[in-house]
Structure 1
Amino acid sequence: MCAIAADPSKRVEPVPRTLTSMGNDFVRFFYAPLLLVGINGAGIALVAAGASRLWLLGLLAAAVVASFTAERLLPYRPEWNEAAGDGGRDAAHAVVNETLILGSVTAIPLLAAVVTVADVWPLGWPIVVQVLFAILVADAGITLVHFASHKVGVLWRFHAVHHSVRRFYGFNGLMKHPLHQSVELTAGVAPLLAIGLPVDVAAALALAVAVQLLLQHSNADYRVGPLRAVLALNEGHRFHHLKWAGAGDVNFGLFTLFWDRLLGTYAFDPGRRFTSEDIGMADKPHYPDGYLAQLVEPFRARGACAADPAAGNRAEQAEA
């Protein structure tokens, strides 16, 4: 059969890509690297150059702006971008907890003088390698305390604040009871202090923790390919926020999923989709929403985690 030449007058022009589609592609494939490599890399470069650590606040602000922008350009669930009476509370948690994290960096010299057991920090390593080493060590301590917080009642009382969320977006990562956050950070940083953690490395680590929490709870529908099986990001962390007893006892890692694989708590199903009906705490549907109320709740009788949901409901009714 002879080929028929195309009529040049009827040539189909390619459809130009819109700014929206290009923005979606950027978020899907480059948002996570922007924060993981760009923001963290800038922080490491600044501390290595001896710049004021106040610059870290600027980088943190840039990360927050990027987080909210990405969530609106390419949301996993559009409704999770809408405040449900929780915007002010979440902002309060974020400001208080980030102030504590960044403020604790200034106390490193004093803490090191008390806690250092052997000043063997590898100062000869490149600064990037030092920060990565600090991240891996901190990841172990924070992950193990997180795991224990789902098993030990007194820890769960405070950790429950974090699991009371009814939507899943960036600021959820910073929504923690300050006492529980302090326990987690102590477990992560104490081993580093014991071997002489430098202040500059601690500052870069503090920024990395904040960036990771934004990414881990992000409502942006970004992709990291095979790295989702290694890094503790939002695709896997949504499983941790399943509201049913036992179902959310998975994927505890902050930075990596290494410890979850070792503990046998890694879980992932690429076909699973989540809605607001899937997250929160099934046995505590009426957990307080206000910031101050959430600070007080762990100290109340009903703040315990009841093995029997009916018992938990009775405790709530008794205090109502």
Structure 2
Amino acid sequence: MGNDFVRYFYAPFLLLGINGAGIALVAAGASRWWLFALLAAAVSASFAAERFIPYEPEWNDSAGDGGRDAAHAVVNETLILVSVTAVPVLAAFVTVADVWPGGWPFAVQVLFAILVADAGITLVHFASHKVGVLWRLHAVHHSVRRFYGFNGLMKHPLHQSVELTAGVAPLLAVGLPVDVAAVLALAVAVQLLLQHSNADYRVGPLRAVLSLNEGHRFHHLKWAGAGDVNFGLFTLIWDRMLGTYSFDPGRRFSSDDLGMADKPRYPSGYLAQLSEPFRARGACAADEPVDDLGQGRAKV
């Protein structure tokens, strides 16, 4: 009974509980520092759920990657949250027309920001599987050999910056308020935890709409072309429009399915992963022309 409770209420707790608490606190004028506490609660809930209802029990065991993943998570999440403080400065240079719908309920403003950011981030993610210079940076994320919450924040900071810029720039152009940006930052972190979670949770028919772990595992298939699917961060709307949505409810995944088939010895250390995109060996076949079947790439 306890496991079933976690299985069905874990995702709503993060999606509605953590994000909802963030919206309520910021809307009430509370300090944005409370968002760090909510993020810590989300991380704790993520690790707890993975132990109560693991999809693959062995993915809960560190493969010598725990310290590296923690470093990625701390650096990348700090960059996300710190960037919120720069919103007023950036807006002064980027805002084209201050037409932000400030009259809408705060929760609706946040939802609007999420949908716009989802489009920009998804398109950059899609391009990162097609353009060599972007793939070099994105390959860090695809080097994972187990699938658990912290994988979502295991990204090269430059690639994360490109994605976030694509997601936030259109919002800044129309006058994104810093309070909405702060809750958006929390929502991104929560989504990454859910999307890469090793928890075998259930969301019913919403799995066909929301970009969560059931669908995102297909994105991490290691063979060329196989993982060119389910690029969305928050939703699968854009994948359906791009024709990149894929799902098979009977498919099971193991560590043998993950990683990069053509780069099985991709560096596993944190500093080595930061430098790998700038080394000659960090090039992938995505630098070469790609045919319609996705052949010729080292991964995806």
Q: TM-score range by the shorter chain?
A: over 0.9
Residue of structure 1 in register with 2:248 after alignment: 269
Which 5+ residue runs of structure 2 have no aligned equivalent?
A: 289-294
Residue of structure 2 in register with 1:252 after alignment: 231
Residue of structure 1 in register with 2:18 after alignment: 39
Instruction: Output the amino acid matched with 1:42.
Output: A
Residue of structure 1 in register with 2:292 after alignment: none
- Establish whether residue 98 from structure 1 lines up as the match of residue 77 from structure 2: yes
Residue of structure 2 in register with 1:54 after alignment: 33
TM-score (norm 2): 0.95
| Counterpart pick for 1:232 among 211, 229, 233 | 211
The equivalences for 1:68-217 within 5 A come to: 68-217=47-196
Q: 1:61 to 1:238 in 2, by over 3 A?
A: same
**1:141-165, Cα deviation, whole Å (9 max, x unpaired):** 0000000000000000000000000
**What SS does the aligned partner of 1:110 have?**
helix
* 1:311 CA drift (Å): 11
Q: 1:311 to 1:195 in 2, by over 3 A?
A: closer
- Taking the aligned partners of 2:272 and 2:30, their CA distance within structure 1 comes to 39
* 1:23 CA drift (Å): 2.4
Q: 1:121 to 1:53 in 2, by over 3 A?
A: same
- Taking the aligned partners of 1:154 and 1:25, their CA distance within structure 2 comes to 44
- Count of aligned pairs: 291
Residue of structure 1 in register with 2:291 after alignment: none
**1:188-241, Cα deviation, whole Å (9 max, x unpaired):** 000000000000000000000000000000000000000000000000000000
After superposition, the CA RMSD in angstroms is 1.4
- Taking the aligned partners of 2:273 and 2:235, their CA distance within structure 1 comes to 28
- Establish whether residue 287 from structure 1 lines up as the match of residue 266 from structure 2: yes
Instruction: Output the amino acid matched with 1:237.
Output: H
- Establish whether residue 299 from structure 1 lines up as the match of residue 273 from structure 2: no
| Counterpart pick for 2:3 among 24, 29, 38 | 24
* 1:305 CA drift (Å): 1.1
Instruction: Output the amino acid matched with 1:154.
Output: V
- Taking the aligned partners of 1:146 and 1:162, their CA distance within structure 2 comes to 11
- Taking the aligned partners of 2:296 and 2:19, their CA distance within structure 1 comes to 46
Which 5+ residue runs of structure 1 have no aligned equivalent?
A: 1-21, 313-320
| Structure (1 or 2) with the larger CA radius of gyration | 1
% identical aligned pairs: 87
Residue of structure 2 in register with 1:3 after alignment: none
> 2:284 touches 2:297 (CA, 8 Å); kept in 1?
no
> 2:225 touches 2:297 (CA, 8 Å); kept in 1?
no
Runs of 4+ in 1 over 4 A off after TM superposition: 307-312
